[in-house]
Amino acid sequence: MSNTIEKIKCLIIGSGPAGYTAAIYAARANMNPVLYQGMQPGGQLTTTNEVENFPGYVDGVTGPEMMIQLQEQAKRFGADIRDGWATKVDFSGDIHKVWINDSIELHCETVIISTGASAKYLGLPSEQHYLNMGGGVSACAVCDGFFYRNQDVVIVGAGDSACEEAHYLSKLCKKVTMLVRSEKFRASKIMEERVRKTENIEILMNHDTVEVLGDNNVVHAIKALNKTSGETIEIPATGFFVAIGHKPNTDIFKDYITLDETGYIVNTPGTSKTNVGGVFVAGDAADHVYRQAITAAGTGCMAALDAERYLASK
């Protein structure tokens, strides 16, 4: 461990739309923010090929390009953007202690957590290949469904979010095939009934995804296994949506910050405040409902303003 302790007025843990927006606002408020980008600089949007629903980008923008622009904007106002990730925290006292890469110790007056959440994937090599290629695998129907208008797609999942995304896709796509990996839905009855009553959604119960098929660049079909009969089928599709949940990146905070049963940070409604004074949250680390770039950016603004007010009150 380092013997040198750095004192920081406003530390931002994590990047993405939430972290960078918090950095922009905090820097403009002369809070001298330091932002550590985390293990995935730029967050989940760096895996998104095209972003067409963020206001102001008339012709759309790639996820990585947008994150570079937000980072540069934060730097322009004096934010200190650094590589590295938080590996340990101690929020038990008046000074908020954070360790970076298990070696750098920081003592912070305020902390903004913007560590986000990671989409869960099936882990198939073919799934990961086409996800990285940007050629037909997605974990966000609202983000990417537009690109599959009037096409056939497959979605895997059984919860409320999967049903919501399947229903959303049904309004854009010609046909939606929903693969449910067990014999029953995990979703609420009302959500299950909604997808069952939608004409262009076909539900295949007790089916596992075996492989994502394509020409090495784009997806052409999904190979699925009927676990009841043992038969494998190929479902023609240009898009494969994975809706089996997200895992918030909040494990290192659990001893100090109140989390819900799935690990999302619980904030005071209408604010970015956590149960620890001087510690705030922005973005998907607390949002299991919307999970959009624009909402993450909005909460980044809220967190910086709340942190500024907290410092002023002291």
Share of the chain above pLDDT 70, in %: 97
pLDDT band at 30 (very low <50, low <70, confident <90, very high): very high
The per-residue pLDDT for 112 is 98
**pLDDT at residue 1 greater than cutoff 60:** no
CB-count exposure of residue 257 (10 Å: 0-12, 13-18, 19+): buried
The per-residue pLDDT for 271 is 98
pLDDT, average across residues 143-147: 89
The per-residue pLDDT for 64 is 87
Strand-pairing partners, residue 272, are none
- Determine which of 2-6, 91-95, 181-185 has the lowest per-residue pLDDT on average: 2-6
Q: Residue 18: CB partners within 8 Å, gap ≥ 6?
A: 43, 114, 116, 282, 283, 284, 285, 296, 297, 299, 300, 303
pLDDT, average across residues 102-115: 96
**pLDDT at residue 307 greater than cutoff 90:** yes
pLDDT band at 109 (very low <50, low <70, confident <90, very high): very high
**pLDDT at residue 116 greater than cutoff 60:** yes
Active site members:
140, 143-144
The per-residue pLDDT for 45 is 72
Q: How many helices (H) and strands (E) does the chain have?
A: 7, 17
pLDDT, average across residues 62-79: 94
Backbone torsions φ then ψ of 311, nearest 5 degrees: -65, -40
**pLDDT at residue 57 greater than cutoff 60:** yes
pLDDT band at 3 (very low <50, low <70, confident <90, very high): low
The per-residue pLDDT for 288 is 87
The tens digit of pLDDT for each residue in 193-230 reads 999 999 999 999 999 999 999 999 999 999 999 999 99
The per-residue pLDDT for 42 is 67
The per-residue pLDDT for 47 is 65
pLDDT, average across residues 241-268: 95
Full set of structural domains in the chain with CATH: 6-118+246-313 (3.50.50.60), 122-243 (3.50.50.60)
pLDDT band at 4 (very low <50, low <70, confident <90, very high): confident
Q: Residue 65: CB partners within 8 Å, gap ≥ 6?
A: none
Q: How do 207-214 and 279-281 pair as beta strands?
A: unpaired
In angstroms, rounded to a whole number, what is the distance separating the alpha carbons of residues 301 and 176?
37
pLDDT, average across residues 237-265: 95
